[in-house]
Structure 1
Amino acid sequence: MLQNDLLLRTLRGEKTERTPVWMMRQAGRYLPDYMALKAKYSFFERCERPELATEITIQPVEQVGVDAAIIFSDILVVPQAMGLEVQMIEGKGPFLPDPIKQYSDLKRLIVPDVNEKLGYVFDALRLTKKELNGRVPLIGFAGAPWTILCYMVQGKGSKTFDEAKAFCYTQPETAHKLLQQITDTTIAYLKGQVQAGADVIQIFDSWGGLLGPADFENLSLKYIRQIVDALKDEVLTIIFAKGAWQSLDAMAATGAHGLGIDWCIKPSYARQLAGNNITLQGNFDPAKLLSPIPVIEQEVKEMLKAFGPGRHVANLGHGILPNVPVDHARAFVDTVKNYSHS
């Protein structure tokens, strides 16, 4: 039995005593205890050793007081499982030395047996579930197929992913075949996460905002829809497509339980677009956590007031920044927990 099921009830649209709160990227880079593990183990060691992933996942529950844990992993474990090499380069981010450039490159990819290739994530979820012992729900996640394609084609991070976009526009058949392979892998992977104990699944479309509405439908949402369809009767689902607010109505129509939004859209406008039958999540600017604590408290109250009571999960509009002091993160969480809409 869960001692704190605020997140689950909010995603189901039930009445709750207060707004639940967690933070994207809460397990990791701003926590001193995480940095100590980072100094000892490589990035993928931290992901692939269940005891390390579990320890990192639980740190923010114990140290910051969030209402949910999100498994420590990375969206790029999926291309890795499909057969591409992925390196994490300190200070630079992900690097895929042999990216997909043409149709013949698809021969190098597989739709893997997820238990064989990603079983370590399922082991970490099972161990985390046991260690949490019902304190808070556990969130699993994956990258949206469009965002995964961006890295598989571009080979590294980018502000524009122009090579990935050009690939889709000049080789549409190859692009859609790749997107479908990623989608099939992701569905199997997320179903495995649910079986291993995930209470909620979030789909991260970090680069959805790079696409106009028609391209977002064709290259991203079409595939997210398949994932939500496959999962929505088994588990609560959240779509977070950063910057793609113009498609909130279409995302709401997928049957997902929650929609993440960033800080560039007013909560009232997001609600108008998404309708009243879905929970909104967000949308505090992560950089604002660098403000003095009294400013953070005031700004968080303004955010909560703007969303109003019910059907809101307090979160950041993107991942927490590495240079945020832990007591500032805690001030964000505590302000939400102490806030009353009455």
Structure 2
Amino acid sequence: MVSERGLDVLRVIVQDYVASREPVGSKSIVDRHSFGVSAATIRNDMALLEEEELIAAPHTSSGRIPTDKGYRVFVNQLADLRPLSAAQRTAIEKFLGASADLDEVLGRTVRLLSQLTHQVALVQYPSLTRSRIRHVELVRLTATRMMTVLITDTGRVEQRLIDVAPGIDEEFLDRLRTRLNSSLGGLALAEAAERLATLANKFPPEQASAVKHIATSLIEQVLANRQDKLVMAGAANLVRTEEDFTGSIYPVLEAIEEQVTLLRLFGEMEPDQNGFSVSIGSENAPFGLGETSVLTTGYTASGGELSRLGVIGPTRMDYSNNIAAVRAVARYLSRLLGEE
């Protein structure tokens, strides 16, 4: 059983090791922190922490570093989340508030989060299991070229260029646009795909081929919107911390490129009572990320669906700052998307 002072010793070992990347000894703890006890007493506390496998010695006669289990206890006991500075909060509002659409919002979100945390930042597109069609637009570009635009109630905009047969006039496009919006507006994506598949049957034979071609493009856009996907930024931050990984960092870089793997990891992380999830070190081994920590929380889009955003980095990370940053960005993102 670890005493309260033992937990405090673990806390400063984690904080000092994160700050310096150097093993922490009893003398440095006494010199740098006000425990009011001797180095010998701190050594006894550290011996108990080592017995509990919360810290370990990387070398003979060295100081100690946290283990994955030690980081887990530290995170579970974490109470002193440092609030973001006024400058950081202003930066979040200004940087994200300038976004024009969902794609840009999420792109800016991961760039900002990677800058705030110095980790790899990830954001999941809004889950679309209950998303619905808001609007369909058909835009003629040339006599044989047009753009189909699909907009969902979560704010996602999917555009696609298609070739069409010459001779399609504006009157036909107006009627088709009206039919599409009256038929698809408010439908869930799966229902929209089914209705699009039979749309050509409702037009005269001489127009059915063109309608089917346009409907096929829209079906592909609907199906693309049903797929979960992630936006990522800050992989260079991982490379800068290469010393925190044993062997080569490339397997970690390859693992974070696998979106299916990351989405599965996100799905298996259990949120705490505040909706926050932290997965540390060996807990991520089945996903090829056994030397990393993953911090995630949820955000909501205008459709009310919950999706995840967070950061991935080495286990030696500033958990307090990173958790505060992820929470702050998630809250602002939810507020921003909820206003759309």
- TM above 0.5, yes or no, is no
TM-score of the two chains, using structure 1 as the length reference: 0.28
TM-score of the two chains, using structure 2 as the length reference: 0.28
Larger proportion of strand = 2
**Structure of larger gyration radius:** 2
Tell which has more relative contact order, 1 or 2 (C-alpha 8 A, sep 6+): 1
